[in-house]
């Protein structure tokens, strides 16, 4: 397949570009800067200049492709307004990408986070949140999945809180960045809340499988570790960076504070059984051992 990907220069995207190229696909990747274009070219893919706000560039990329993977997202979590802007930008971009595929039967794979269900690991059947800071993303995903009835083989791969590589990425990566800045490896609440995780290379395999085989309108969980206690994550971060490990106020994490404090394990039993996905790369707690002071 000739695949158009957004976010191909990011943590998950670069692993996905490598996974696609390694399985006989060719890749056209959105690049919003010279640096991203260079990285994409070095990876063996073709850069396609433009950004998420450039809907003509998105339509042109989609027109050249047999299938699409959408991963780009502006990760400015500093204020509710910044999050809302990124969600609105993604929403318009996904609308343009989806419209370009209507009636074609071509696949469109998008991403979201795994849902949170009190008292048990969430499954692929649970709905995405309709309130909270990221609820707008759930609406974008629902709109993409609804395109299944309009001739698009749309699917969503739900990512766990931490998609990691070389000790960095996702929520655990944010804990690490804050620890470096504040000189304390903190965690919100009592630290027993659990976050699921996956290695970026395993997530990339699932994105490829969804592109190749997902039935229209389906959702999948890229969950390798069902849930690590956040205190255990902070403990490895603190040991690797030589910093004290302590409970800190939820406000330390800005608008994402309530999300950081919530227990949100997640399962991928259905995904593994149906798509034959089997994660093989290191767990989050092992990968964090790559952190350097």
Ligand X SMILES: NC(=O)c1ccc[n+]([C@@H]2O[C@H](COP(=O)([O-])OP(=O)(O)OC[C@H]3O[C@@H](n4cnc5c(N)ncnc54)[C@H](OP(=O)(O)O)[C@@H]3O)[C@@H](O)[C@H]2O)c1
**Contacting residues for 233 by C-beta, under 8 A, at least 6 apart:** 162, 172, 175, 187, 195, 284, 285, 288
Among 73, 187, 195, 253, binds ligand X (CB under 6 A): 73
Q: Is 47 in the site for ligand X (CB under 6 A)?
A: no
Region from 28-36, 146-154, 208-216, 227-235 binding ligand X, contact rule CB under 6 A:
28-36
Q: Is 74 in the site for ligand X (CB under 6 A)?
A: yes
Among 116, 162, 267, 271, binds ligand X (CB under 6 A): 162
Q: Is 133 in the site for ligand X (CB under 6 A)?
A: no
What is the rounded distance in angstroms from the CA atom of residue 40 to the CA atom of residue 9? 6
As measured in angstroms, the least distance from the Cβ of 253 to ligand X is 14
As measured in angstroms, the least distance from the Cβ of 83 to ligand X is 11
Is the distance from CB of 57 to CB of 51 less than 8 angstroms? yes
Q: Is 115 in the site for ligand X (CB under 6 A)?
A: no
Q: Is 227 in the site for ligand X (CB under 6 A)?
A: no
Query: SS in 3 state form for 163-222?
Result: EEECCECHHHHHHHHHHHHHCCEEECCCCCCEEEEEEHHHHHHHHHHHHHHCCCCEEEEC
DSSP 8-state code for residue 69 = E
What is the rounded distance in angstroms from the CA atom of residue 230 to the CA atom of residue 11? 21
Is the distance from CB of 12 to CB of 168 less than 8 angstroms? no
Among 156, 163, 179, 210, binds ligand X (CB under 6 A): 163
208-246 b/e (C-beta count within 10 Å ≥ 16 → b)? bbbbeebebbbbbbbbbbbbbbbbbbbbbbbebbebebe
Q: Is 278 in the site for ligand X (CB under 6 A)?
A: no
Q: Is 265 in the site for ligand X (CB under 6 A)?
A: no
Q: Is 58 in the site for ligand X (CB under 6 A)?
A: no
As measured in angstroms, the least distance from the Cβ of 7 to ligand X is 4
As measured in angstroms, the least distance from the Cβ of 280 to ligand X is 18
Is the distance from CB of 279 to CB of 196 less than 8 angstroms? no
Region from 7-15, 57-65, 209-217, 236-244 binding ligand X, contact rule CB under 6 A:
7-15
Q: Is 32 in the site for ligand X (CB under 6 A)?
A: yes
The residues with which 69 forms a beta bridge, in sequence order, are 5, 109
Considering beta carbons, is residue 33 or 177 the nearer one to ligand X? 33
| Chain residues that interact with ligand X, rule: CB under 6 A | 7, 9-13, 30, 32-33, 36, 51-52, 71-75, 111, 113, 159, 162-163, 169-170
């Amino acid at each position: 397949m000739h695949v158009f990907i957004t976010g191909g220069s990011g943590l998950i995207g670069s692993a996905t570009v490598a996974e696609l190229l390694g399985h006989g696909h060719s890749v056209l990747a959105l690049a919003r800067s010279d640096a991203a274009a260079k990285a994409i070219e070095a990876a063996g893919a073709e850069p396609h200049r433009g950004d998420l706000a450039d809907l003509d560039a998105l339509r042109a990329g989609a027109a050249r492709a047999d299938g699409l993977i959408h991963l780009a997202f502006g990760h400015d979590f500093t204020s509710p307004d910044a999050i809302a802007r990124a969600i609105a930008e993604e929403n318009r971009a996904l609308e343009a990408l989806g419209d370009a595929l209507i009636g074609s039967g071509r696949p469109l794979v998008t991403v979201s986070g795994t849902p949170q269900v009190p008292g048990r690991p969430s499954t692929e059947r649970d709905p995405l949140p309709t309130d909270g800071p990221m609820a707008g993303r759930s609406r974008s995903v629902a709109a993409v999945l609804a395109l299944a009835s309009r001739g698009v083989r749309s699917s969503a791969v739900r990512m766990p809180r931490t998609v990691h590589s070389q000790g960095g990425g996702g929520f655990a990566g944010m804990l690490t960045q804050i620890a470096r800045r504040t000189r304390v490896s903190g965690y919100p609440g009592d630290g027993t809340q659990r976050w699921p995780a996956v290695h970026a290379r395993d997530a990339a395999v699932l994105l490829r499988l969804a592109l190749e085989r997902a039935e229209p309108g389906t959702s999948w969980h890229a969950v390798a570790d069902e849930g690590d206690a956040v205190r255990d994550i902070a403990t490895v971060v603190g040991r690797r960076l030589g910093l004290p490990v302590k409970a800190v106020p939820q406000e330390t994490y800005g608008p994402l504070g309530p999300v950081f404090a919530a227990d949100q394990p997640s399962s991928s039993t259905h995904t593994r059984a149906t798509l034959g996905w089997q994660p093989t790369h290191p767990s989050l707690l092992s990968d964090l051992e790559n952190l350097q002071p």
